[in-house]
Amino acid sequence: MTTSPNGLPPSAIADTMIDAIASANPKLRYIIGSRREKAGVRLRPYIPDKLFYSQVAKRLT
């Protein structure tokens, strides 16, 4: 597998998948990413669309 310079290592995804499979009560969704990325996902319902999409575009370029 290859690792993107801006992405997570494959082991981060694999560790979360293993935790989900081994859990007696798995969550419906698992957020994988940095603290900043996780905060963005949780705050999304409270952020105006224009601000959200401008930040997404900034991260993609």
Residues 6+ away with beta carbon under 8 Å from 20: 26, 27, 30
| Interatomic CA distance for residues 21 and 43, integer angstroms | 27
d(CA 32, CA 58): 20
* Residue scoring higher pLDDT (61 or 47): 47
pLDDT for res 1 = 61
Give the tokens for residue 17. Answer: 């998948």
Query: How much is the average pLDDT of 17-45?
Result: 90
Per domain, the residue ranges of the chain are: 10-60
Q: Smallest Cα–Cα separation from 33: which of 13, 54, 58, 49? A: 13
Better-scored residue on pLDDT, 36 or 46: 46
Instruction: Name the pTM for this structure.
Output: 0.60
Q: Are 20 and 27 in contact (CB under 8 A)?
A: yes
